[in-house]
A and B are shown apart, each in its own frame.
Chain A
Amino acid sequence: MSDLSQIKSSRPIPPKKFITPRRLCFLVAAITIALLPLIFPSSYWRTNLIVCAINVLLAIGLDFVLGYAGQLNIGQSAFYGIGAYASTLLIMKLAVPFWVAFALGVLISGIAGTLLSLFAVRLRGHYLAIASLGFAVITYQILLNWISLTQGPLGIYAIRPPPPISLPWLPPIVFTNLTNLFYLIAGFALLVYFIIDQLVRSPIGETLTAIREDELSAASLGIDAPKWKAFAFAVSSAVAGAAGCFYASFVGTLVPDAFFITESFSMLAMVIVGGMGTLIGPVFGAILLTILPELLRGIGDLRLIVYGAAVTLVVLFIPGGLVQAIRVVARHVLPAGAKFEARS
């Protein structure tokens, strides 16, 4: 009988209760975000917190197309760069207000992602991987060589942080303050997490998973795979575009090297180390791989060697990433009968 209770319906009946475990988790996440800057008062760690938030955004965006739709996209840095440059250029050259530029940057990245999905319609596996890599190389080279627009390797300087938000009866919230900027980006990341979480647990998520597992069978069920691939690419690249826009306003300078193909690789590493095909995994993968090189600063130049070794060893020994590791540990540590499910 107890076995029956463990069979998980793929589409649970909407809960009637107001407090559900999932909502509780989001509450815990929100409280954690609120507390983090208070735990780390130094501006060095607050800067790292913001980098973490941006990387979390990038990782969950990539995981949506890679882990859920199963599209081998290794050129995500292109959309990150397009979002950053599009929004910044709109602000600096056309004096577009920040949030309008933000929305347009996200939109332009999403459109670029849809363009790449045109290739994904015909290509699979490594062919798509190299096509997306090519897309990222071309984007990087355009950013580098279109000097009249992007100033090429000289970069764009003095990008302003998001404008203050003024609420009634409160002092205006300024984003020159690292804590406020962290709240803004992390809050946005939580919102994106919530939306993607809703998406992957909806019939859309099942549609994408069906395409990932077997495109032919999916087509035989009447699923329009090209349309849904385009959707997955669009969502994923739009999220990367949003991350790029925040990155520009946070760092204040843009150079093409920030969007070189190696940036795609580090996003991939975050998704894989965390646990591809789950949403919570890439969050922790992103945090771990952002913090790890910082913690290793003590060993100087060796730190990136250790970083590379860590990525390789995780893939070799725990290919399911942190999520798999936690599941295994939980199975051994938790008392028999206790049920542990990673929230995916």
Chain B
Amino acid sequence: MFSVILQQGINGIVLGSLYVLVALGLTLIYGILVQINFAHADIVTLGAFVAYFVAQTLTGNYVVGIAVALIMGGALGWLINAAVFAPLRRHGSELLPLIATIGVSIMLQNAMLLLFGPIPYAFNTPYSSKVIHIGPLFFTLQNLFIILVSTTTIVLLYAFMKFTFLGKALRAVSQDRETAALMGINPNFLIMLTFIIASALAGMSGALLGPVLVLTPFAGTSVIVKAFAIVIIGGFGNIEGTIIAGLIVGLIESYTTQFLDPGLIDIAVFALLLVMLAIRPTGLIAEKHAENV
């Protein structure tokens, strides 16, 4: 029994660390722009498909696939910012960019449906068949790889935000765009940079999630819905909170699957979300944007 709990704990953390990568992108964009990018989900899906084709058919190298997915994600994020968010910024509306990106999401999903078809793809990486046993526990090399890559990415991102000049400038813009601009920081450049980083993360997490997900053009939707929950539970715009919340959601998912019913995952996650909103609407770690609650 104890080993089952431990085993599912490992699985939950693997899944949770991927959710963290997706949710961090959303929370970075929210932090700097106070906008929601609904097409974020489809960058994840597209990242998975790109990695699939690069790794499985073109080069045979999974790491190259991840790198290409990362670059593709960054490019798509730049495009979405330039085409949708930048022109809509002057309206100052909360709703318009949300709807516009829902439109983008419908476009991307159906374009992928046209290209890749509705049948799920079997994404096998060289690491998914190698199993490591430690006592009663086992995990695939893929799981180890996921934890390694996502932990490295999260640490790098955290260090970037805390210690580099650009990271500090990013935080300055998300705290007060006008004052940051007065200090000589170009907010438009930093917003663009945020979109590129966030979307590159989404593309990469898609490449890592590909072997875990049922890979169809609509796979991103179930991920993004959980990412939204994570972002709110962690506190919108808060990196530490997002990391903790992402791991919690990953654990909820694996324990619900083990002890209850896989169909109850979303119910459990969103029940937690609604409870959080009812008792502590500022998220796990309260920071800013208190005007929303």
State the Cβ distance, B240 to closest chain A Cβ, in Å: 19
Partner of A135, one of B100, B274, B293: B274
- Size category of the binding interface on chain A: 35 or more
Mostly, the B contact residues are helix
| A176 interface residue (CB < 8 Å to B) | no
Residue of B with least CB distance to A152: B263
Instruction: Determine, out of B104-112, B181-189, B190-198, the stretch whose residues face the partner at the interface.
Output: B104-112
In the complex with contacts A145-B267, A319-B96, A131-B110 CB distance below 8 A: no
Instruction: Determine, out of B87-95, B145-153, B199-207, the stretch whose residues face the partner at the interface.
Output: B87-95
Partner of A145, one of B30, B84, B96, B263: B263
- B-contacting residues of A (Cβ < 8 Å)? 66, 72, 74, 119, 122-127, 129-131, 133-135, 137-138, 141-142, 144-145, 261-262, 265, 268-269, 272, 276, 301-302, 304-305, 307-313, 315-316, 319
CB pair B266–A308 under 8 Å, yes or no, is no
**Chain B residues within an 8 Å CB radius of A261:** 221, 225
CB pair A127–B99 under 8 Å, yes or no, is no
Instruction: Determine, out of B63-71, B170-178, B228-236, the stretch whose residues face the partner at the interface.
Output: B228-236
How many chain B residues touch A (CB < 8 A): the figure is: 50
**Chain B residues within an 8 Å CB radius of A141:** 263-264, 266-267
CB pair A312–B236 under 8 Å, yes or no, is no
CB pair B34–A126 under 8 Å, yes or no, is yes
CB pair A305–B277 under 8 Å, yes or no, is no
**Chain A residues within an 8 Å CB radius of B114:** 301-302, 305
In the complex with contacts A127-B232, A131-B273, A269-B102, A122-B293 CB distance below 8 A: yes
Residue of A with least CB distance to B264: A145
- A-contacting residues of B (Cβ < 8 Å)? 30, 34, 36, 83-84, 87-88, 91, 93-96, 98-111, 113-114, 221, 225, 228-229, 231-232, 236, 261, 263-264, 266-267, 270-271, 273-274, 277-278, 281, 291-293
CB pair B96–A272 under 8 Å, yes or no, is yes
CB pair B98–A74 under 8 Å, yes or no, is yes
Question: A130-B229, A269-B102, A309-B107 provided; 18 other pairs, C-beta below 8 A?
Answer: A66-B95, A123-B292, A123-B293, A126-B30, A129-B94, A131-B277, A133-B225, A134-B229, A138-B271, A262-B221, A265-B106, A308-B108, A311-B103, A315-B88, A315-B96, A315-B99, A316-B84, A316-B88
